[in-house]
Structure 1
């Protein structure tokens, strides 16, 4: 199995970065995972801004030469792992800008008929996210918007049906059980297989 880890947080002293390290520790110990690539969107200085004009048309985004290496990473991966905080009930704008550009028509899905055809079938995805608020806040107050966005509106739409969530709340609390949650992620990646 080949795993692409997409990390989205501007601070390497953050709890999100600690979760990234636990993901990677588990991957290193997992004999099912043969190769791993890490894409740190902030360190990469990924440009999340969409630009459409006379020279850059939306319908040609799947051919953009500036995004070629990122498309190749997605094609290469059997498993895509997203590690990010939840801000305002959704992933950071940096990650959403990546998604807007990379999960484009004629690369991630194909229009046609009533339901578009997902072109990334056979892959799996894991979302590891942290938030300041209580763990049940997105479910109770936001109608599970985060999971609906990531699973149904994005991943299932492009053909990725196997999606696992680690959505950890109370992460800024002294009683947030951060060590327990970090260990849970480590144990999962140590054993996961597609």
Structure 2
């Protein structure tokens, strides 16, 4: 059994969004395989955007974010789902990550050298959906924002290994949605 924290990073609470269906499939696969899952829907959260370095470093963590931090410490695996908007994570999801991954929780500044990661011992899976065909995003755009999330945020904080799945052309009408739901359920069952 693996303890999984699932972050549903779609800012739109509409349950008809395909990203939410993918999250449901992952949870069903994970729970069906005996894993324990705690789920966070950022669309349901209310928090301010951090605007200054002082807020980021010194502002007290909100109780709702503190509860999610406890869930993150509890987890052994983190599954992250989000849609690609303007070539990157949606702003609301990025604002959530900035609230969640604060200094002295996710990493620690040191006097000299690179900050010390504090979230080691957890693997991660990122599932990103987009209207762009997945090969175009991977080859032409080199999946730049996904790589940035993986390297500059998740690995920076100590998570690893970090794996990803890109699901493209979600609004194209020909995307094999059922097959992707099955594949994501299998990822949940494998806690990967």
The two structures have a TM-score, normalised by structure 2, of: 0.89
Distance change >3 Å, CA 117–CA 13, structure 1 → 2: same
In structure 1, the gaps of 5 or more residues are none
Are residues 1:64 and 2:61 paired? yes
Cα deviation, residue 65, structure 1:
4.1
User: Does the 8 Å contact 2:56/2:98 carry over to 1?
Assistant: no
Partner of 1:50: 50
Partner of 2:140: 141
Are residues 1:24 and 2:22 paired? no
User: Does the 8 Å contact 2:7/2:78 carry over to 1?
Assistant: yes
Secondary structure in 2 matching 1:36: strand
Cα deviation, residue 52, structure 1:
4.5
Partner of 1:5: 6
1:1-194 matches, cutoff 5 A: 1-9=2-10, 10=12, 11-31=14-34, 33=35, 35-43=36-44, 45-47=45-47, 49-52=49-52, 57-61=55-59, 63-66=60-63, 67-112=65-110, 113-192=112-191
Poorly superposed stretches of 4+, deviation over 6 Å:
none
Q: Give distance in 2, aligned partners of 1:6 and 1:105.
A: 20
Cα deviation, residue 83, structure 1:
1.4
Q: Give distance in 2, aligned partners of 1:90 and 1:72.
A: 27
Cα deviation, residue 157, structure 1:
0.3
Secondary structure in 1 matching 2:134: coil
Cα deviation, residue 77, structure 1:
1.2
Q: Give distance in 1, aligned partners of 2:171 and 2:155.
A: 31
Cα deviation, residue 8, structure 1:
2.3
Deviations 1:78-106 (CA, angstroms, capped at 9, x unpaired) = 11111111111111111101111111111
In structure 2, the gaps of 5 or more residues are none
Query: What is the root-mean-square deviation in Å for CA atoms of aligned residues?
Result: 1.8
Deviations 1:39-77 (CA, angstroms, capped at 9, x unpaired) = 11112x332511549xx643224x424332121111111
Cα deviation, residue 21, structure 1:
1.0
Secondary structure in 1 matching 2:70: helix
The two structures have a TM-score, normalised by structure 1, of: 0.88
Matched pairs, number: 187
